[in-house]
Every structure is written in structure tokens, then in C-alpha cells.
Structure 1
Amino acid sequence: MKFPLYFSRKIAFSKDNKNNLSRVIIFIGRLSVALGIIVSLITVSTGFGSKKAIKERLADFSGHITVRSTRSNSSYNTSVLDNQGLDVKRIKEIPDVASVQKYAMLTGIMRNEHNFAGIIFKGIGKDFDSLRFKKFLISGTTPQVTEKGYNNGVVISDKTAKDLHLKVKDSIVTVFSKADQQPIYRKFEVLGIYRTDIKMIDDQFVIGDINHIRKIQDMKPDEAGGIDIFFKNINDADTDFPEIEKLIGYKNYAEKATEKFPQITDWISIFDTNIALIIIIMLIVVVINIIMVLLILIIERTNSIGLLKTLGASNSQIRATFINYTLIIMIPGLLYGNVMGLGLILIQKFFGLIKLNPENYYVSTVPVDLNPLAIISISLGILIISGLALIIPSYLISKISPVKAIKYN
């Protein structure tokens, strides 16, 4: 074993540390490291967790990638998809694709004696992924659409249900408008109530039979206003997006879930800045505290430094000894910080104790993401950067004279 590492371990585990100033210094150093780890872990896990949760909610409701006609532009009323160049079969054969479902959308107004609400009626077909949608249901079921005849069942949002004083099995009249024609009335039965916690969705969308829109819009039985493409992993959407664009034809366009709601995307991007800022601040605090610990330990052990120099130890060996000594002090702080930080994260993950206002944060509880790579990177990053930061202040040792050091009291 090399001398610096051997000697640093000897003084780190020396019983003398329990009866002098080192005891307090070691406690402060370990406490600062532990707090830095805890705050960094919570920041990263909640930041990445929030980004992931919001993106998944957007994608699971409206598809990771949506294909629409260019004639629809940004309108909520969908135009019929152009079949020229559109190859749905090949899209389904892409390995990362989990499912594909067709839809059509039309704006309308739901009203009763209590209130009225502007809605976007999203018509679904028999290929609707009810299992994926089930996570949003808070009561009732989704309509079983066969595309033969008309299913008058709809799923409305919790907000719409409260605004119109509706519950499952209640009836509601919806008014649709059509150019140069009288308003068209449809009476629906509430089969289910959903909540995504995303205001832009919950304020507007109603799920029902696509045949109602086909009838109102004079569409053919096999036509649709768009297709929702779901992937096995949300990250696959970015990877496969170029391939999807090649299979939809030039009169249609593809759009990612996050692109449909740019205000949410802009809000999510703030997380990256906040995470980086908090980690940098905590890193600075930890490094400053560790440097102070090193300097105080050097001053406290001036006699030992003088004795080591007298016995022939070089400045570089003594510097390495004290740097190793300080890093050894940090290790229990890293362990305590990881245990406490991960413990708090797991409590939130399984019990959801901390709640949020979904109107502001798009989720009702603080989501967390346990990423092993991020956890390891935080601990290693703090340890490595602290070690590098200790190199410059350790040069104070070279200024200590052996003769004066031995006399130092």
C-alpha cells in the first residue's frame, strides 16, 4: 500500500479524532456532503420524474405521434386523411410501434339547464386502446365502438362533469355546427369520467363514437381524420419519427405529442435549467465546506506535517495524504446522503405524500424517477470534483517549515 493512502487511513480512523477539533470538523464535512447528496437526488428525481410523467400523460391520451391531413392545419376540426402515400400497415410493422388507432375530431357545445361547455369531440373507432386509456378513468367505462351503427356513450372529463353537474349514466345534449347548415343536435349518455390533470385536455376533450363525426362531416365509413401512433417506449417516438414521416404521404403531416401543446413543452424545458442550477449550487456549497475542512485539518496537524517532512516525506506525498484523508471523511456522508435521499424518494413514489395543484403543474402528486445512472453520477461527480478542488488548497502544506512546525503548539 502506498504511503499517502496508508497514512491517511491511519489518521482517519485514529481514536484521537474523537477527542479533539477533528471530531467537529469531520461532522461538518460529512453533514454538508450528506445534505448535498439529498438535495441533488431529490432535485434530479422529481425534475426528471415530472418531465417523464407529463410527457407520458400527453402521449397516452393523444398518441406519441399523430398523423393528420395538411388541410386541418391547426384546427381542432380534422379533415379527412389523404390515403395517397399513407401506409398504415407498414407503420404497424415498425418494431417499436405498440398500436395504431384512427380518430376524427369536431368542436361542439355541451349544454343543459345547469351550464354549457365548449368541447372537442374526439371520435374513436374499434381499434381504440381502452387499456391504455384506463389509467385516466375515475369512474365508469369507455364506449365499446364497433363502427356499425352509432354508440351514444361518451367519456367526459371530471371538470366538464362538475361544470354541467353530470355523473355516469346521465344524458347530455351536444350541439355541433356545420357550414351553411342549421346546428346539429346529438344526445349522449355519460359512460365514463376521466381526469388527466392536464388542463388543456381536461377542459375540452370528450371521447365518443367516430361514426357521429363521419355522419356530420359526410365522411365515408372507412375514412378518418387522423391516426394516433403509440410506441412501446416514449423515447422511441424521437427515434422513429423520420421513418414515420416517410410512410404518411406528402398531403399528411406527423406531429409529436409534445408539439401539440407548445406551452407545456416550454414549461417542461425549464426543469433542465432548474435542475442544473440547483446541482451547481449544492456542488459549490459542498466543495467550499470540504476545502474548509481540509484547511482546518492541515492547521490542526501542523506538528504532524513538520514531523513527516523531517522524516523525509515530500510535499506531494503529504498533500496526497491529506486529500485522501478528506475524501475518506466524505464517504460516510455520501452513504448517509444516498440512504436518506433514496428513502425520501421511495416514500413519495409509493405513498405520494406531497400533492400539487394540477392546474399549475399538470400532475396532482410530485412524481419521481429513480434513474440508477443519475444516482451513481451524482455521488461520483461530487466525490471527483471535490477531490480535484482540494488540490490547490493542499499546496498550503508546501509553505510549512519543518522546524517551525515541530515547535508549533
Structure 2
Amino acid sequence: MATMMRATDVMAKNDPAIFHKLYGTKRPRVVYYKKDFVDYVLMILLSALAIIFSYGFSSAMSIAGLVLCGFMLVTFVMRHGAEFRIPAVFRKPHELFYMFAYKLQNLKSVYFIALGLLLLENLLIAATPNLPHHVEGIRKVALYLFYAHFLSITLYRTAILIDHLLKKELVREILMQTAWQRVIKQETNITLEIIHAYCIGVLTHIVLIAPWYLVIIYAKFSVIFLPVVLGLNVLIHMRWAKVLNAWFYRDHWLGHNSELEFIFLHGTHHDAIPSGLIAVAENGFLEGFLRHTIGFPTTFYNPILTFVIYMYDTKIDIDTHQYIPGIFPRMPRKLLEVAQHSTHHYGPLEPYSIGLKFDGHGDFKDFHKGRPDEIRNSIRLDEELTGFRWDNPTFRQILSLYDKYHNN
């Protein structure tokens, strides 16, 4: 009976009718067009509002974010053109409701547990005002960690920018041999493309960590409860790791197959060259804000643990998005061999999952040690739901380019 129940659970969990559910019309998207201009403007305005709401109008984070929002509008016109038409969000306003319905339906139990634990800690702090919780001290430390995270990642991203600019003709040469030849040509301003990718990464980062900033400012954390809360947060995060791939597949699939989700949420992640410059945990501008408000539990952890997780995840995501070989940070070939997300950035929509396959690769016996099989072999979900083939022409071409250019 137990075996039958487990089998039923797996079948239900991996049912294409659930993972590929759409209330509206399926419109696969991977690029912006000039017809998207008005929608793009609205998306940028919403991103700007999220920044101002979170950081305040006059803060350094807001000023930087708003300047980058303006830059995004200018570069959209330069790169795609502009066509004035009734925006999709006005033609299909009901899809906004669908968008939030998808997010709520995809929430996992660990999200509510993490949020509930944060609320419980705040209730206990309020109920014991005479205890030495040192709330303001923890908030001060949390803010230091917040800015240390953003600045250190931005410095790292800037080092990557410099190497791309120094080797910009190599960037052009490589991309012109891929599906990116539709964008990158001999006459293309490759410097603009590189700077554009960098700015997308920085702006995405500013918007993504805004929910964490709000939690730091408005929630309370107690030094008394710190050991217990951290321990529980770690347990929650271990559970999150087991369901992350399924959650991500569904959300990512929507980001490419719902037109509104692509334009307003995920599209900016694909609107720049496939480089570590763009990467902030697989997110677009507003997508990062929404995912870390109604999606990821990490925002609601004690800020010390959130800092550690964000540092690790963002750094790893940058490194594993460097799909232009020969440019810093250079991804080891053995890592490229077990990760298919590069395929996704070089043309095909699939895979939608995290896209890893560690089985059969002895070099990675200790890599991702402690991570559940749902992450270590996350590609199985694509293989089951879409028939994705690991050995595919795009992936072979990526490996070939790596062998040709990695040691340049």
C-alpha cells in the first residue's frame, strides 16, 4: 500500500497536466520584439515602483535602480526598436489574475512554514518585551550583511564586465557561431551588448533582494531565539531543496509559455548575452521580486542564514551562467558536461528544470554533497515531461565551442 501511495504521489507530481497548466493561450517566447515596447515600459515602471516602495525614493539603492531602469528603456529601443500598440496587459487583463493564480498554486508548504516561523518569532518578541532580544542590534548586523552581499557581488560582476570588455571581439566571434548570431553581427555594438548584460544583472539584483530588505527593516529577530530559529531555518531549507526543482520547473515553464509572464517577469533574463553578467538566481526584474515574496522561503529566514544562502546561490549562478568560453569566470568543462542550462540560453526552450545530471560522473561524487537527488539529477523531470534528450545538437555545439576557446 505504501509503495502504491508513493507511486501515485510521483505520478501526480510529474503530471504534465499540472506542470504545463495554462488558463490562457500558450505562446512560447524566448525574445522580446519591438511590439512589446509599451508592455516593457509598464514592466520597467512597475520595477521602479517596487524599488521606491522597498528602499525609499532617495536611497542609494533606489537611485542606482532608477538610473538602470532608464538605461533599460533606452537600450530596448536601440536593440529592438519601438512599436506603439495597445499593450498585451490591457488586451488580456484577465491574464494578470492568472499570473498570480499560478504563483499561489505553485507555493510549497515550506514557504508557509518559513513565513509562519517568522511571524511566531515576532509574536514571541512582542509578548516578552522585558527580555534582552537585542532586536535593533540584529537589525544593524542584518543591514551590514545586506549591503556586504550586494556590494561584493557587484564588485565580482564588475570584474567579469572588465574581462568581457577586454575580450569583446572574442565575445563577438563566439556568439556569431551560435543562435545568438540573430543579434550579434559584425556591425553590432558589442560593447553596448556587454554593458547591457551587466546592467541587467545589477538591476535584477537590486529588485530581487528588495523583499529581504523589507523583512530586515520591518520584521524583528531575537538573539535569544537565534540558535533555535537558525536550526529550524536550516531544516526548512533542506526540505525546500527537495521541492525546489519541481517548483522551479513549473514557474520557469510559465515564464516562457505565458506571454504576459515572459514580457513582465522572465523576459529580461533572456534579453542579454548568455554570460555570468546577467545572472541572479535565474530571475528577471519583477520575477525576482515576486519569487522572493511569494515563492522562495529564503526571504523569511533569519538574515544571517539568508545572507549565506544568497551569497552562495548568487555566486554559483553567476559562475554557471558563463556560457561564453575563454572569459572570466571560466566554467570548468566537467561542470559544463553535467549542466544543460546552457542549452536553454542558446536557443531551445527546454530544459525548464535546473538541468543537472550527476549520475555517471565520478568527478562529482563530492560535489553538491548533501544535495537531494531532486537537484543532483534534476534533468529527469524534463526527460519525463517533455522527452528532453541530454545528447542534443545545441549541447554538442556548446561543448565544441568550449574546447575551441576555453584556453584563449
TM range (shorter): under 0.3
Larger radius of gyration: 1
TM-score by length of structure 2 reads: 0.22
When the two structures are superposed, what TM-score results if normalisation uses the length of structure 1?
Answer: 0.22
Structure with the greater relative contact order (CA < 8 A, sep ≥ 6): 1 or 2? 1
Q: Which has the higher strand share?
A: 1
